[in-house]
């Protein structure tokens, strides 16, 4: 009887330790960061930026709006559009990711992902999915897709078949309106729609580990006074370890590093 009681105590202690660890992880301190501006760069003010990534010294950009959506290659220093193709008028361009030598571009409500050859921008195929497409990024293994909710969907990079979901929480609560995504070193950087905030998400647990307050960039952006001209677009340059940030219809782009806030 004593042995059984001792065993029960061990099980109870292990359970309590596990519960406490889970509680602390769910309610762990979230770091507050701000962007430190390295350079302020020009950006096409007609670009309704929905997806952004950096590759071999160039930016690849997906722009939205019906009848105006495009896929572009952009010089990050000058903001000049080096080449672009227009989407069909029925498509609203959204998130963009690079998988090998292929670009995958989401569409908003059309439940269609467009797959292109990186070098030529030739469309190769189309994939179907359920729900809306907002942000997209590739971590080298899986594609992560946001749909404006607090849940990110994981996709096979070769077929776009669903592999699972990742609920995103901060302080134990869901984080809705997740938008443009960038995958960097086991983390997801996500714009939160209609805010000046970027959240940093652990790609395995879904826990937000940091918030980036980018209000200073919005104030300095020169953006038009339109409600939808919001912060959107995150690209990472691994060689310099810097990020490029912009917004919808912004005439500026910012090259930044993220540093702890002094507040």
Q: pLDDT tens digits for 74-97?
A: 999 999 999 999 999 999 999 999
User: pLDDT tens-digit profile of 21-54?
Assistant: 343 445 568 999 999 999 999 999 999 999 999 9
> Is residue 4, in this structure, part of any structural domain at all?
no
Produce one character per residue of 3-38: b if its CB has 16 or more CB atoms within 10 Å, e if not: eeeeeeeeeeeeeeeeeeeeeeeeeeeeeebbbeee
> Is residue 24, in this structure, part of any structural domain at all?
no
Structural domain span for residue 143: 31-260
Q: Are 222 and 186 in contact (CB under 8 A)?
A: no
pTM for this model (two decimals): 0.89
Query: Distance from first CA to last CA of the chain, Å, rounded?
Result: 57
Number of structural domains, the chain?
A: 1
User: pLDDT tens-digit profile of 186-245?
Assistant: 999 999 999 999 999 999 999 999 999 999 999 999 999 999 999 999 999 999 999 999
d(CA 196, CA 219): 10
**SS3 assignment, position 7:** helix
Which run of H or of E encompasses 18? helix 2-26
Q: Assign residue 246 the CATH number of its domain.
A: 2.130.10.10
Q: Are 105 and 95 in contact (CB under 8 A)?
A: yes
């Amino acid at each position: 009887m004593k042995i059984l009681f001792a065993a029960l105590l061990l099980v109870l202690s292990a359970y309590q330790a596990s519960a406490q660890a889970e509680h602390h992880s769910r309610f762990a301190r979230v770091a507050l960061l701000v962007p430190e501006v390295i350079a302020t760069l020009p950006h096409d003010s007609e670009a309704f930026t929905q997806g952004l990534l950096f590759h071999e010294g160039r930016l690849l950009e997906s722009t939205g709006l019906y009848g105006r959506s495009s896929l572009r290659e952009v010089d990050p220093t000058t903001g000049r559009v080096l080449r672009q193709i227009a989407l069909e008028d029925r498509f609203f361009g959204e998130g963009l990711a690079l998988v090998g030598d292929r670009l995958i571009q989401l569409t908003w409500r059309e439940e269609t992902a467009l797959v292109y050859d990186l070098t030529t921008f030739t469309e190769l195929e189309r994939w179907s999915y359920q729900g809306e497409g907002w942000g997209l990024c590739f971590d080298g293994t899986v594609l992560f897709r946001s749909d404006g909710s607090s849940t990110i969907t994981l996709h096979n990079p070769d077929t776009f078949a669903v592999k699972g979901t990742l609920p995103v929480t901060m302080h134990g609560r869901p984080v809705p309106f997740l938008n443009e995504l960038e995958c960097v070193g086991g983390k997801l950087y996500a714009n939160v729609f209609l805010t000046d905030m970027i959240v940093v998400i652990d790609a395995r647990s879904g826990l937000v580990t940091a918030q980036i307050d980018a209000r200073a960039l919005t104030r300095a952006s020169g953006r038009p006074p339109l409600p939808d001209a919001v912060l959107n677009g995150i690209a990472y340059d691994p060689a310099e370890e810097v990020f490029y940030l912009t917004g919808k219809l912004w005439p500026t782009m910012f090259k930044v590093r993220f540093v702890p806030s002094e507040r």
